[in-house]
Structure 1
Amino acid sequence: MASLKIKNLHKSYSSVEVLKGIDLEIEDGGFLVLVGPSGCGKSTLLNTIAGLEDITSGEILIGGNSVAGLHPSKRDIAMVFQSYALYPNMTVAQNISFGMDIRGIDKAEQKKAIDNVSSILQIGELLDRKPSQLSGGQRQRVAMGRALVRDPQVFLFDEPLSNLDAKLRVDMRTEIKRLHARMGTTIVYVTHDQIEALTLATKIAVLKDGILQQFGTPDEVYNDPKNVFVATFMGSPSMNLIEATVADKGKNLVIEIASTDAGKIELPVKNIASLKDYIGKKVLFGIRPEALTDREGADRTSKQIAHHDCMIEVVEPAGSDTFAVVNLGGKEAIARLRADAKIVAGEHASLAFNMSKAVFFDPETTQRIR
């Protein structure tokens, strides 16, 4: 196991800069997830850690040692790819032991390693099969087993679950999390799926256009986003962003939101000193669907619950929850209600706004107002 530190990393292809000054650090045994939309640079960053891509400038340290210029085979890392990359003419056992064969490890040691990882990954009964005889989830377990037998300092996962169906992705997420808890090895994991990121990570790095937008724990990234991009990218459904005006009501500040009905909605604002600079100005009011709910479903520990009647435009039952679409400030907002909430499309319902969870952004800079 080893820590990983990335300092002011830049990567360019000719005149195109793909990574723009990335700074990250993950502790020994941590689980770092790189997340962002397609083309944001997350796979390129993973490839620079692996040594598959040269860096333009900056530094990468594994276990406190710089790996600049080191061949991938010398970095003591193991990589699991999206495509599994299994040899079709070899059995599962041969695929797992291939790297050990290349390194000249004796057969007894190989068998011990194969038995160990096949027990961990529950693939013991598959050792004599060929990849064509395996399901997608089984193939991914074999690919993970091949990485595990190397006992590396750092595991690198490049979108390993994207080829699996939805249920199998959930199952494999659990397997990977269980594997990390058992092995305690440092993992760097690339995905475009923010639910995977929130589920697996001890630390999340959110990337956009080669720039690190935010780096922190899943709780920090989800509940304390630094800008509009992070707020809307992380979470499903994503955070509601509603245009509002800050108003001074004597002792307290409120935000005013245009309503589809006559008049406007007024909501109290938690104590955010910088909002005083926005009195009379527009802000973006952010509230997650679970913080906009029916009266009975509101967080009873919160001291800042505001209620308002809203017109319910669409009702979407979802088993354990009911989602409702309402119009706030001329924009659709999603409320997450209890499954048995008594609401009807086309009618008004009293909704609870948990203002202790509200966040605000400058509409011009898109940065968080604190």
Structure 2
Amino acid sequence: MAFLEIDRLSKTFGNVRILKEINLEIEKGGFLVLVGPSGCGKSTLLNCIAGLEPITSGEIRINGRNVAGLHPSKRDIAMVFQSYALYPNMTVAGNIAFGMEIRGVPKLERDKAIARVAETLQIGHLLDRKPSQLSGGQRQRVAMGRALVRDPQVFLFDEPLSNLDAKLRVDMRTEIKRLHHRVKTTIVYVTHDQIEAMTLATKIAVLRDGVLQQFGTPAEIYNNPANMFVADFMGSPAMNLLAASVEGGSEGDVRVSIDRPNAPPLSLPVNGVGEALRPFAGRNVVFGIRPEALTDPDGADRNAHSVVEGDCLIDVVEPAGSDTFAVTRLGGKEVVARLRADARLQPGQTARLAFNLDKAVFFDPSDQSRIA
């Protein structure tokens, strides 16, 4: 049963609709990540859940109770902000305990709660320090401790790692995941970083211009994008999206033809999704394939049902330690292939690449919706 439910939620500022009929739900103890580009409405949605912004229409239910219209203090939630929002004149212990002190929690109980969260977050040695004496990662842990000490029904995180450097962001991501496994509290987490979304979430909601584009598990979002926006937004490097024409009529195999520079078009059989593509015979579609599904023949997935090889002219080779990325041109666009680290390629060389068509997806260019 859903623990947090967002039902037909809309939010309007003046004449501008920021959120448009959002429907989401997450189970108790789940980790929901709201992801999308800047200005898509994800922070506004989080603020609506928190009660910091009133909603225009719809419902927000926590454990079956409609909290829309309730004051934030009545919703039993705790929020961790991007800016940490620590009191500079207080120690770490004072920052963690401040909310409890305001609520009149006895000192003995406050001290036990501080000790508990300090152990969970491994900040016991920092309790007597001031925020100015802490690193960015330590400040973020203190902000998380201040939320944890309340033991709320739902935690809300608003881009908590965006102020940290790249390595610390990775470390803190691991800490947040470990924290979720320990406390098992429902979390709603806002980020524009799709890597954070993929690694942390049990469910992801992809937003664009206030409209929910897709809602599902990380695997569903990554492997079965609902439209071209989701396909392009989720993944690093992004999915290759290139123009292709469908060949094959009412009978026989269906194939897609992809232009190559200074070479005949590349023709690929797509029998696994042939029936869905057959109505598009003689028309253009958008062929999507992720870099890891376009690789050197020796590195291709041996369990795949349909792997087809084709010759491609390599423009750029980018060694990346554990992988080698190769850039070629297909369908009038740059296409990235992800090869083994020891792949021997040179720019200007024509190389044989393997297309794992089990992983290929197709979109209608007229409305960017998924065909197959």
TM-score (norm. length: structure 1) = 0.99
Counterpart AA for 1:146:
R
What does residue 258 of structure 1 align with? 259
Per-residue deviation, residues 286-330 of structure 1 (Å, max 9, x unmatched)? 000000000111001001000001100000000100000000011
Question: Superposed, which structure 2 residues align to 1:44-83 within 5 Å?
Answer: 44-83=44-83
Q: 1:150, CA displacement in angstroms?
A: 0.2
In the TM superposition, structure 1's runs of 4+ consecutive aligned residues that sit over 6 Å from their partners are none
For residues 56 and 270 of structure 1, what CA distance do their matches in structure 2 show?
48
What is residue 151 of structure 1 aligned with on the other side? 151
Whole-Å separation in 2 of the counterparts to 1:140 and 1:262 = 55
Distance across 1 between alignment mates of 2:317 and 2:201:
33
CA shift at 1:270, angstroms? Answer: 3.7
For 1:360, the equivalent position in structure 2 comes to 362
Letter aligned with residue 334 of structure 2: E
Give the match for residue 134 of structure 1. 134
- Give unmatched runs, 5+ long, in structure 1: none
TM-score (norm 2): 0.98
SS of 1:263's equivalent?
strand
**Letter matched to residue 262 of structure 2:** D
Structure 2 unpaired stretches of 5+: none
Range with bigger deviation, 247-256 or 28-37: 247-256
CA deviation after TM superposition for structure 1 residue 228, in Å: 0.3
Identical positions, percent: 70
Q: CA deviation at 1:3?
A: 1.3
CA offset at residue 362 of structure 1? Answer: 0.2
> Does the CA-based 8 Å contact 1:270-1:356 persist in structure 2?
no
Could you tell me which residue of structure 2 aligns to residue 179 of structure 1?
179
Show the 5 A alignment for 1:99-138.
Answer: 99-138=99-138
SS of equivalent to 2:247? strand
Q: Distance in 1 between matches of 2:132 and 2:209?
A: 38
Q: Is the 8 A contact 1:322 1:336 kept in 2?
A: yes
Q: Cα gap change, 1:270/1:90 in structure 2, threshold over 3 Å: closer, same or farther?
A: farther
Q: Cα distance, 1:69 vs. partner? A: 1.3
Write the distance in 2 (CA, Å) between the matches of 1:280 and 1:326. 25
Shifted more, 266-275 versus 132-141: the winner is: 266-275
Aligned pair count reads 369
CA distance in 2, matches of 1:274, 1:309: 27
Q: After TM superposition, give the deviation of residue 271 of structure 1 in Å.
A: 2.3
Distance in 1, matches of 2:35 and 2:277, equals 30
The equivalent residue for 1:279 is 281
1:198-347 matches, within 5 Å, as 198-248=198-248, 251-272=252-273, 273-347=275-349
Q: Is the 8 A contact 1:247 1:280 kept in 2?
A: yes
Equivalent position SS for 2:272: coil
8 A Cα contact 1:207 1:214, kept in partner: yes
